[in-house]
Structure 1
Amino acid sequence: MGKPRQITAAALAVAGLTTAGAPAPASAELAAAAPFRVDYENGAHPKVGLNECCSHSIKVDDLPRTGEYAVRSVLKYGDPKVAGSTRAESHTLHAKETHFRSGDTVYYGFSVYLLSTWQRDSREDIVFQWKPWSDACETGKFPSAFLSVQPSGKWRLRVNSDGNACSTPESVRKTSFDLADVKPGQWHDFVFRFTWSHGSQGKIDGWYQTHKNPGWRKVLTAGGPNTFNDDKTTSGYLKWGIYKPAWASGKTDVDSRTIFHDNIAVGRTFSEVNPASTR
């Protein structure tokens, strides 16, 4: 790794849509322009916000999936809480292109890198979230879905849903899917297609590969509820980085986490969001 750059706001082009929907090969093909894509080649997207406590929390660094740069998120045990918990995350709260609601069908792509020195922990590390904000009648809300590194050494997608107009912790339906083995020292590429629904129309498809073992394979096909019955004033957005809920109450087996993300994209086709493709 070279000398990291502190994130500053910079422009990132946002372009139109295509209609093709088949999975694309994992080669360095030219990707179709996604409605929203963050590749960190010019710093941070101007609409991406940061939940960071400290100067070490979130920086642009030269360990990329493609191009020259990616984002590095660092969380240390004892870091001050941000947005109510222990996290170093980027978010798209103010990027309407990424917002989702029940009834939408959306493709998401991103790459995640774990250093070769990554150690298993007794508690999970959450690295990507699809997060709705709360309705007026709610005091808080679970993510609709999140991707985590599990103590078992698996990538896991957790899905939360609720058909009630006002969700409570007790009314949430929780489902988990183990996707693949965690492999430190590699870029892990993910593409998900969500048909968001708080009812039976919901569907999730997921594909996965690593940069050392390219070749997309389908790791998830799931149907059923996958989000919340939100009112018309609310929707969901994205978060990526490190979120370590366990550290809010005590120490675990590790005391520091470092993770990289690159090529976060939202679109209507696989090829638009393919994180292994170049722009």
Structure 2
Amino acid sequence: MCTFAKPVSAAMSVFAAAVLWPVNAHASAAVLRIGYENGARTSGQPALGFNECCKHSIQVDDLPRTGRYAIRSTLMYGDAAVAGGSRAESHSMDIKDSYFRSGRTVYYGFSIYLASTWQSDSREDILFQWKPWRDRCEADKPPSAFLTVQPSGKWRLRVNSDGNACSTADSVKKVSFDLAEVRPGQWHDFVFRFTWSHGSQGAIDGWYQTHKSPGWRKVVTATGPNTFNDDATTQGYLKWGVYKPAWNSGRTDVTSRTVFHDNIAVGGSFAEVDPAKGQLPS
């Protein structure tokens, strides 16, 4: 049965799409692929950064989507705040091949594993982010987009945008899309195609599968603003791991979170970033 993105608000136009295999034009190498096959947390990218408080925060693990290794991110309630919040994340802040801004079209692929012991919580978990820097005139800025696990048991994509040159908390437009059911004990594969724009030219397409139920399904097709009207020098980068905003102020139903990520990729086609394919030969 088809599963389509369910808009939670109407800032972007959404079109139902049939279940289909994406068209793979060329299986060339992605401009960036982080697969951890050398057994190191940096995966051969010396500029890869980490938001971590503790030894348990971010470690290589031998539970991969493909190959031999993946990255494990563990966050416990009471861990010291990092970068202003309760998080255990890897980030590409210093990797230029990951940067994005309004006017660009980019494919992204990645896999996320939730253990069979994953428990539902009363508040969301943020597991992947597309995060822009703030402009000089801004006090802060939310991610352009982020992927969450919801208390409802859904994967949800949240999109933020603003056509104003200087964003404020009140000027940001927010829209969310429910993508698929969360299935603990499985690798969840995602591919997104973003045409980044703070105006009507923006577009998002997203595909999804699990390793136990292979077969890509189109889970979101949307048009409309999906990022910010940034200064010419402002760009964005990627973050993956666990961020638990609710823990910044108090407890929730769970006291620890562990997730695994593998095959994070940035490229120009679906085939280049397909997380089920692993590392392509150089």
Q: Compute the TM-score of the two structures, normalised by the length of structure 1.
A: 0.90
Structure-2 residue corresponding to 1:37: 33
Per the TM alignment, residue 48 of structure 1 is displaced from its structure 2 partner at its CA by 1.1
Q: Is the 8 A contact 2:79 2:86 kept in 1?
A: yes
Structure-1 residue corresponding to 2:187: 187
Per the TM alignment, residue 31 of structure 1 is displaced from its structure 2 partner at its CA by 5.2
Per the TM alignment, residue 150 of structure 1 is displaced from its structure 2 partner at its CA by 0.1
Structure 1 distance, partners of 2:69, 2:27, is: 17
Structure-2 residue corresponding to 1:72: 72
Q: Does the residue aligned with 2:147 lie in a helix, a strand or coil?
A: strand
Structure 2 distance, partners of 1:276, 1:22, is: 13
Structure-1 residue corresponding to 2:110: 110
Structure-2 residue corresponding to 1:17: none
For residue 230 of structure 1, what is the amino acid of its counterpart? Answer: D
For residue 207 of structure 2, what is the amino acid of its counterpart? Answer: W
Q: Is the 8 A contact 1:179 1:220 kept in 2?
A: yes
Q: Is the 8 A contact 1:51 1:83 kept in 2?
A: yes
For residue 276 of structure 1, what is the amino acid of its counterpart? Answer: A
Structure 2 distance, partners of 1:102, 1:131, is: 13
Q: Does the residue aligned with 1:214 lie in a helix, a strand or coil?
A: coil
Aligned-residue RMSD, C-alpha: 1.4
Per the TM alignment, residue 79 of structure 1 is displaced from its structure 2 partner at its CA by 0.1
Q: Is the 8 A contact 2:75 2:257 kept in 1?
A: yes
Q: Does the residue aligned with 1:271 lie in a helix, a strand or coil?
A: helix
Provide the aligned length of Structure 1 versus Structure 2.
255
- Runs of 4 or more off by more than 3 Å in structure 1? 21-25
Structure-2 residue corresponding to 1:134: 134
Structure 2 distance, partners of 1:117, 1:161, is: 35
Per the TM alignment, residue 232 of structure 1 is displaced from its structure 2 partner at its CA by 1.1
Per the TM alignment, residue 23 of structure 1 is displaced from its structure 2 partner at its CA by 3.5
Per the TM alignment, residue 47 of structure 1 is displaced from its structure 2 partner at its CA by 2.0
Q: Is the 8 A contact 2:24 2:269 kept in 1?
A: no
Structure 2 distance, partners of 1:193, 1:47, is: 25
Structure 2 distance, partners of 1:233, 1:272, is: 27
Structure-1 residue corresponding to 2:90: 90
For residue 71 of structure 1, what is the amino acid of its counterpart? Answer: I
Q: Does the residue aligned with 1:82 lie in a helix, a strand or coil?
A: coil
Structure-1 residue corresponding to 2:235: 235
Worse overlay, 30-39 or 206-215 = 30-39
Q: Deviations over 1:38-78 (max 9, x none)?
A: 00011222221000000000000000000000000000000
Structure-2 residue corresponding to 1:226: 226
Q: Does the residue aligned with 2:159 lie in a helix, a strand or coil?
A: strand
Q: Is the 8 A contact 1:22 1:269 kept in 2?
A: no
Structure-1 residue corresponding to 2:151: 151
Q: Deviations over 1:190-242 (max 9, x none)?
A: 00000000000000000000000000010000000000000012100000000
For residue 167 of structure 1, what is the amino acid of its counterpart? Answer: S
Q: Compute the TM-score of the two structures, normalised by the length of structure 2.
A: 0.89
Calculate percent identity across the aligned residue pairs: 73
Structure-2 residue corresponding to 1:171: 171
